[in-house]
Structure 1
């Protein structure tokens, strides 16, 4: 017999019972796709041989979607093999949204691929409801099969696999090398769309042959595909790269370097407004500003553990000649803040000490991973580190959560969940002892419960030095983003030998809280652009007012109005070009500026401006408009 923990209740079953039998015996819903056995996903027909925690997987589960899309990749390969005999297959994994398969088209070209025909063939195969059959085979059996099939990529993959670990999956006539797991049968797949075709080097090595990567996505209903395609189209309209270029916010230059954004004047204003907002808010909440260098001695990051754990993500060391030293572009701010804490003796009366910095850090992201502002090689963190006593942890952690939720509310992010990212006890990537980790994780769970957060625990996603709360936010299109993080750390204070003098006269170890409500400033702006479609709130807009002159005769008055607006701190752009007012208004509207003011003869005589709105226009005294807009900014932002 084996014991399975299901929904918190331990249940005995005969050894070798399948997930399908268990589901039937327990009267589980009919939409179960697979079962999760501890951390592994099993096909419903696979025997379970061990005591474990068992969870039924449905389409709504992340692991359920990954399984669904993995099975769909096999169906894509089967369709390609039918339509284009002789093609060879690389790998076909699920991805965040959908799946892809790397294919050697052989005699065929990408232009010869009929995407509509491929989609139709996938649905035809799906309707046959062929089961996904798992076969455990010897390495030699697998080699013999793929040798006969003349599939060199599968043979190369087999070279790295140990005998006794190899499985093949079959649906219909198609057989693939795969560790699984898969859907019960192909009939679950009701709707499909081929999304994109690109080139990809075999095994990501540019010295290897370039294959054709075919991206697709499938759903259990046609409506879900229709909804996805609508959101995808809207997302393309809201692309931060597209809008950022149109609004003149940022650019990239290969001469400067890949993944290194250049902020243009309007974008720099946007960044600075965000930074100043959070700096003021932090000062209200007891944070002290600090500034640290963009580089640090290699020994600093060896002490912190970042060099050991993140060496592959760091830029190569900078070596000096006399004396011979090694420095790194700063990958993290926290080691520097630890040294600031250590710069003076500390007393329990001083704690908590909250050090805050908008610090730019540098990570060596692979070329293929770079994407606009969401994945760059340098980015600015709204970083802060709180050094506190153990009896202050709960209150300080709760205050940070309050700040994060305040930021979300201000920017209109109302739909969010909290992911409690804990360590995987079986992994060696973490530092510190199990007792401290258990203490930290218990504290975070208690705080999340006290704050009423909708929270889920995810094992294996903790930082190497401590557990954390990651806030997952849905934007206006329903897409989920990770924004804001709070981390509890018992390890760095040990590694840096941080202490404070307690009330008892003895030395004690502080606890560190790492936090970043924005996370990365660049990534936050990218998400905000797409969330708002580039229509920033008045207080944040880099151009708050566009001032348009009807003709050259009124330019002098327009300049006087501009000077008054600028003197009041209102970000104003004057358009005094010799163009028609209609053209000026059309071009200004595309820049998504909150207020458009027009001045002509009547306005010049009466010392007024005409304010254009969606529902018409109104003429108002210049001084009254300035008062109105200043009050609006203060009311919204601060």
Structure 2
């Protein structure tokens, strides 16, 4: 038996290891293991190590807040992507000046090198120790009911024993404590100086508008100061690329108040980008054996009762409408009868198409595809530009296969997804496997089928050669899924395409096909969405390219700028020729000086500018100017047209002269 030191520093003085994985479970560095245990060190720069670092920093934040504002009540403080947050109930909202004071107090706590010490307590002991913390008392009452707890509350309570973490000073005194499952770094000095507080927000307790509104402080934490600075630089770059900012500057889309939050309208320039995104996707679908269907925006509620959405997804749906008219004996018309819902999903409609007539095994795989508009009642606080909306268009495909075809079709779908994403300019991927959480009533269906589906997805994902990351509990209620995670130009990760196996909906809809034996069989259903939604994909591409789209996606592909007005007709002839070839080309005949025209179109991120003066007109040539200011001069017109159309057909990203050379 090995007893690790209480502070862990004797073993790992360089802070490289912050916790242990013992028999697959994360444990504090100050833990006891036996010779039979499988023990792995958890380094501070690993995914788990970063999460532990950030969770520990959240505790330091909460301790600092209660030093500065002793009457503050504690909510929850989980780690999140790239950082952490902690919620508080305070008399007055936090101000930027408050953050400065809190940050100074956090720095003192870090220097004090308080140890994080774990204690197991009973429910009653926890209630007694945290009697002044009403939200902690509520969490204690939710122990074991993770499905009902607030997002992030799993860091504090779960199905097992309750634990409290004490922050213990060098002289052995408990300086602060919190209900927490851990683990934590050995002591506060491990946190170092690679952290910062980032912003203040409001948040309803347990995510419900019926509950008290708390104050949330966000922060970020990294192993070193240099990594913090690199992250802050990425944030600055991300702010420049924010699709909401670019959408306004480039006149692409807006969210009119008259329509409502989360409901976007696309302007002409944004509309043509969206059209091109969808057009290419439709070409790929048809070439890969998909069949196009179309379904209405509303339906009777019974359809979603059959699919399970009303039981498991009702909170994300708009409330029902009563639309069927009923005429009484006197001829009076009233709107009573069936309840209709705006559809949040397309899959139940596709099931009805499959079921509309008898199906043979010879028709399978049957790949039904639709760019279907769906509507989801997202809470106002979660809406975020085009990445989180209430009305969206999904490139939804549902594939019906025999049991023997499942693995091959999953491989086909994953290959299709990855190649198509590469065509849009995304090339850096890893995969995530989302599985069910044992004991969670959210997940429906037979456990054996879940296991079979999960293992099949795992095999297909591993065969792709991409890294595979587990996502326990992240599956849809009807089945596990693979999601493609793509890194953009500045290294941020976006969840892109999803491929989900579903043994449950074919059962619920009683879908059948006739097999080669003449008997009826149940198909397996695969849900596949490449974009997630067109709106979200639009936003991701806009930020990935910082608005400087490849020529094929650019709303204006070519602008002709004459050196002087007398060369306008010459360039107009070239523009007219380009338009007949399907190129989105314009000639700038405005009264602005040439240099101002160039600045204007550069700001609008036009990929190709054609410039002509006397020498070009006399020689039948034209000059190219590119986004970075480089030029190609004296290019014969026929060659220039060929280069432009070639860049479009090849979906080339053209920013410099070298890109078109």
Report whether the alignment pairs 1:486 with 2:489: no
Report whether the alignment pairs 1:131 with 2:132: no
* 1:113 counterpart SS class: helix
> In structure 2, what is the equivalent of residue 79 of structure 1?
64
> In structure 2, what is the equivalent of residue 169 of structure 1?
165
* 2:633 counterpart SS class: strand
Q: Equivalent of 2:348, from 335, 346, 356? A: 335
Kindly indicate whether the alpha-carbon contact (under 8 Å) linking 2:82 and 2:221 is maintained by their aligned counterparts in 1: no
> In structure 2, what is the equivalent of residue 309 of structure 1?
312
TM-score (norm 1): 0.87
> In structure 1, what is the equivalent of residue 656 of structure 2?
none
> In structure 2, what is the equivalent of residue 419 of structure 1?
432
Kindly indicate whether the alpha-carbon contact (under 8 Å) linking 1:250 and 1:267 is maintained by their aligned counterparts in 2: yes
- Alpha-carbon distance in 1 for matches of 2:449, 2:650: 44
- Alpha-carbon distance in 2 for matches of 1:437, 1:208: 36
* 2:511 counterpart SS class: coil
> In structure 1, what is the equivalent of residue 634 of structure 2?
619
Deviation per residue, 1:300-325 (Å, 9 max, x gap)? 11111122111111111121141411
> In structure 1, what is the equivalent of residue 201 of structure 2?
198
TM-aligned CA distance change 1:351 to 1:87, over 3 Å = closer
Kindly indicate whether the alpha-carbon contact (under 8 Å) linking 1:69 and 1:94 is maintained by their aligned counterparts in 2: yes
Q: Equivalent of 1:59, from 44, 48, 51? A: 44
TM-aligned CA distance change 1:318 to 1:559, over 3 Å = farther
Kindly indicate whether the alpha-carbon contact (under 8 Å) linking 1:565 and 1:626 is maintained by their aligned counterparts in 2: yes
- Alpha-carbon distance in 1 for matches of 2:207, 2:357: 49
Kindly indicate whether the alpha-carbon contact (under 8 Å) linking 2:19 and 2:28 is maintained by their aligned counterparts in 1: yes
Report whether the alignment pairs 1:113 with 2:126: no
TM-aligned CA distance change 1:282 to 1:53, over 3 Å = farther
* 1:498 counterpart SS class: coil
Deviation per residue, 1:18-66 (Å, 9 max, x gap)? 8879x99x999974433567897544446799x9997754434444333
TM-aligned CA distance change 1:66 to 1:379, over 3 Å = same
Q: How many Å apart are 1:557 and its aligned residue?
A: 4.3
* 1:405 counterpart SS class: helix
- Alpha-carbon distance in 2 for matches of 1:621, 1:314: 58
- Alpha-carbon distance in 2 for matches of 1:456, 1:254: 40
Deviation per residue, 1:246-289 (Å, 9 max, x gap)? 12111112221111111111111111101111111111111111
> In structure 2, what is the equivalent of residue 274 of structure 1?
277
Kindly indicate whether the alpha-carbon contact (under 8 Å) linking 1:381 and 1:518 is maintained by their aligned counterparts in 2: yes
- Alpha-carbon distance in 2 for matches of 1:360, 1:52: 52
Deviation per residue, 1:583-614 (Å, 9 max, x gap)? 11111111111101124455555554332144
Structure 1, 85-94 or 177-186: larger mean CA deviation: 85-94
TM-aligned CA distance change 1:596 to 1:109, over 3 Å = same
Deviation per residue, 1:388-420 (Å, 9 max, x gap)? 222222221111111111023223333211112
- Alpha-carbon distance in 2 for matches of 1:186, 1:374: 36
- Alpha-carbon distance in 1 for matches of 2:118, 2:12: 25
Report whether the alignment pairs 1:475 with 2:476: no
Kindly indicate whether the alpha-carbon contact (under 8 Å) linking 2:94 and 2:200 is maintained by their aligned counterparts in 1: no
> In structure 1, what is the equivalent of residue 188 of structure 2?
186
RMSD: 3.4
Kindly indicate whether the alpha-carbon contact (under 8 Å) linking 1:545 and 1:571 is maintained by their aligned counterparts in 2: yes
Report whether the alignment pairs 1:355 with 2:377: no
* 2:582 counterpart SS class: coil
- Alpha-carbon distance in 2 for matches of 1:52, 1:379: 50
Q: How many Å apart are 1:512 and its aligned residue?
A: 1.4
- Alpha-carbon distance in 2 for matches of 1:329, 1:88: 40
TM-aligned CA distance change 1:48 to 1:250, over 3 Å = farther
Structure 1, 548-557 or 478-487: larger mean CA deviation: 548-557
* 2:362 counterpart SS class: coil
How many correspondences in the alignment? 618
> In structure 1, what is the equivalent of residue 252 of structure 2?
249
Q: How many Å apart are 1:423 and its aligned residue?
A: 1.8
TM-aligned CA distance change 1:72 to 1:30, over 3 Å = closer
TM-aligned CA distance change 1:509 to 1:55, over 3 Å = farther
Q: Equivalent of 1:631, from 636, 639, 646? A: 646
> In structure 2, what is the equivalent of residue 455 of structure 1?
468
> In structure 2, what is the equivalent of residue 262 of structure 1?
265
- Alpha-carbon distance in 1 for matches of 2:268, 2:412: 34
Kindly indicate whether the alpha-carbon contact (under 8 Å) linking 1:363 and 1:378 is maintained by their aligned counterparts in 2: yes
Q: Equivalent of 2:228, from 222, 225, 228? A: 225
- Alpha-carbon distance in 2 for matches of 1:27, 1:174: 25
TM-aligned CA distance change 1:349 to 1:365, over 3 Å = same
Q: How many Å apart are 1:195 and its aligned residue?
A: 0.9
Deviation per residue, 1:181-218 (Å, 9 max, x gap)? 12221121012211112344556566776554322122
Q: How many Å apart are 1:447 and its aligned residue?
A: 2.1
Q: How many Å apart are 1:569 and its aligned residue?
A: 0.4
Q: How many Å apart are 1:159 and its aligned residue?
A: 7.4
* 2:650 counterpart SS class: helix
> In structure 2, what is the equivalent of residue 7 of structure 1?
none
Deviation per residue, 1:534-580 (Å, 9 max, x gap)? 22111121211122244444444444433222111001233221111
Q: Equivalent of 1:565, from 555, 578, 583? A: 578
- Alpha-carbon distance in 2 for matches of 1:431, 1:145: 39
* 2:625 counterpart SS class: strand
* 2:289 counterpart SS class: coil
> In structure 2, what is the equivalent of residue 284 of structure 1?
287
Kindly report which structure 2 residues correspond to 1:490-529, keeping only aligned pairs within 5 A, or say none.
Answer: 490-529=503-542
> In structure 2, what is the equivalent of residue 6 of structure 1?
none
Structure 1, 434-443 or 28-37: larger mean CA deviation: 28-37
Kindly indicate whether the alpha-carbon contact (under 8 Å) linking 1:79 and 1:125 is maintained by their aligned counterparts in 2: yes
Kindly indicate whether the alpha-carbon contact (under 8 Å) linking 2:19 and 2:26 is maintained by their aligned counterparts in 1: yes
